[in-house]
Amino acid sequence: MNSTLLFLLLIGPLGEAANAGAEAPITPCDALAAHVESIVADPKVLERPPGQDYDDYDALFAPSMRFPPPSLADPDLRRRAKRFLYGEFGEQAYEVQHLAGPVWRAVGVAGTAQCQTERFFSVRPDGALRAIYTPAVFGDLCGFSSRRIGTVSGRPALIEREIKVHPLLGVDVEITPWTRGERTACQIAIRFNDAFVPSERFCKDQSMCVAAEPIATKLAESLARNDDGAMLSAVAPPTVPQAEAMAGRLAKAKARFESLEFSYTELPSFGGKAKTKYPVYGGSPKITLIATAGLPLIARVGIGGVGWRELGDYLITLYSGEGDDLDPVASFVVARKNIGLQSVTTGIPKPYVDMP
């Protein structure tokens, strides 16, 4: 008996199919989409809980989608499942979850990106573990993407979620029901409108703050729409002669910001103290030229975070175009606000392919 057939026989029934000739039953994603559209008018479901770094959308999906505590294995099975998942010498964190009957899921989490590794197996009467079919994944299960066991409208399912931040805020949810027979996955893609609001500003000269604040807001939005920074140079470009005169300084600034000395530095606050949760640049900030009040400036645009992780508000620092040193003249914190639903679409997801 092949592993796929064994897997299908091990999963308990979740109700009979619709009678012949009847309309096709609504998919879990269609049901979840209808639920989201019915409650999203309440702004509270879009609020990020205090202290939380990411939108996890639990309030948006509840109670239609739930994640009950997993049923864990006994110590002996956990040891055997660990060897099954990692081999003899694996030391990463892991969990063993009971799904149904003799079917189990071993899932490990490793690395700073919290990448998941999973294997599905059954326990034979003699105690040996037998690998069974593992459903396809639709993301890389790292960082913003993860998979869990849960229920949708009361029915058990594999639920994979990927948080989206570019070009819009949102989340993709892939649902693979645990049914008898073929299990067809579906996807719901939810996108939100947003607004960029300056929340803090620090300047040597207040006139610079007033002149540059609208540009800082546009720089934050440009980075959100194009995370490679490709469109930043079009936000407030200097004149051609100014750009030519600044070309050498811009190249030196980029090299310096990419060095260890400046890679994860704090937003300049000119004697003040930023209130944003993450005042240190995370990830890989982008460098561009802007002009305000007729003056060319170097702009550093990024997101606050810890190390490479981008977790917080948008951070913008402007540096003088004169002299050899990087002399900051203004800095801004720009918050990104979720202001309401833009779209909800459903479809069939394509399995993830890890390109070499």
Check whether residue 12 and residue 157 sit in a common domain: yes
The pLDDT of residue 187 is above 90 = yes
Four-residue CA torsion sign, 135, 140, 146, 152: negative
Let me know whether 198 and 254 are in one domain: yes
What pLDDT band is residue 142 in, cutting at 50, 70 and 90?
A: very high
Asked if residues 281 and 315 have their Cβ atoms less than 8 Å apart, the reply is: yes
Q: How confident is the model at residue 285 (pLDDT cuts 50, 70, 90)?
A: very high
Type of residue found at 261: E
Question: Residue 6: its pLDDT value, please?
Answer: 36
Same domain, 26 and 92: yes
Do 56 and 131 share a structural domain? yes
Q: What mean pLDDT do residues 117-136 have?
A: 89
Residue at a domain's end among 151, 184, 217: 184
21-35, 214-228, 246-260: least confidently modelled range: 21-35
Q: How far apart are CA 270 and CA 20, in angstroms?
A: 73
Determine, yes or no, domain membership for 350.
no
Which 8-state DSSP code applies to residue 70? Answer: P
Q: Give yes or no: residues 256 and 226 share one domain.
A: yes
List phi, psi (to 5°) of 214.
Answer: -60, -35
Is the Cβ–Cβ distance between 121 and 143 less than 8 Å? no
Higher pLDDT, 247 or 353: 247
Asked if residue 224 is part of any domain, the answer here is yes
Does residue 79 sit in the same domain as residue 177? yes
pLDDT in tens, 246-265: 999 999 999 888 887 778 89
- Say yes or no to pLDDT of 185 above 70: yes
Q: Give 87's pLDDT tier (boundaries 50, 70, 90).
A: confident
Lowest mean pLDDT among 14-18, 98-102, 349-353: 14-18
Average pLDDT in the 230-250 region?
95
10 Å CB burial of residue 50 (0-12, 13-18, 19+) is: exposed
Using the predicted structure, report yes or no on whether residue 274 has a pLDDT greater than 90: yes
| pLDDT at residue 85 tops 70 | yes
**Structural domain boundaries, residue 221:** 194-338
Residues 111, 32 share a domain: yes
96 falls within a domain:
yes
Confidence of residue 2 (pLDDT cuts 50, 70, 90): very low
Answer yes or no: is 355 within a domain.
Answer: no
Q: Are residues 165 and 234 in the same domain?
A: no
Tens of pLDDT, residues 203-218 = 998 999 999 999 999 9
Q: Is residue 222 part of a domain?
A: yes
DSSP of 129-146:
EEE---PPPSS-SSTTEE
* Residue 8 burial (10 A CB sphere; 0-12, 13-18, 19+): middle
Q: Please spell the DSSP secondary structure of 155-167, one letter per residue.
A: EEEEEEEEEE-SS
Instruction: Give the per-residue pLDDT at 246.
Output: 94
Task: Classify residue 175: in a domain, yes or no.
Answer: yes
Number of Cα atoms under 13 Å in the Cβ half of residue 128: 4
Report in angstroms the alpha-carbon separations of 19 from 23, 24, 31, 182: 8, 9, 20, 17
Residue 171 inside a domain? The answer is yes
Q: Are residues 221 and 319 in the same domain?
A: yes
Residues 18 and 106 placed together within one structural domain of the fold: yes
pLDDT of residue 18: 33
Q: Does any domain span residue 348?
A: no
Residue 304 sits in the same domain as residue 165: no
Q: Is the pLDDT of residue 119 over 70?
A: yes
Q: Is the pLDDT of residue 107 over 80?
A: yes
Instruction: Note whether 76 and 148 are same-domain residues.
Output: yes
Q: What is the pLDDT of residue 198?
A: 97
| Mean predicted confidence (pLDDT) in 109-124 | 88
Q: State which of 138, 164, 184 marks the end of a domain.
A: 184
Per-residue CA distances from 195 to 47, 53, 97, 224, 343 (Å): 14, 18, 41, 11, 16
- Looking up tokens 């300049």 gives 268
- pLDDT at residue 91, as a whole number: 67
Contacts of 126 (CB under 8 A, 6+ apart): none
Split into its structural domains, the chain has a count of 2
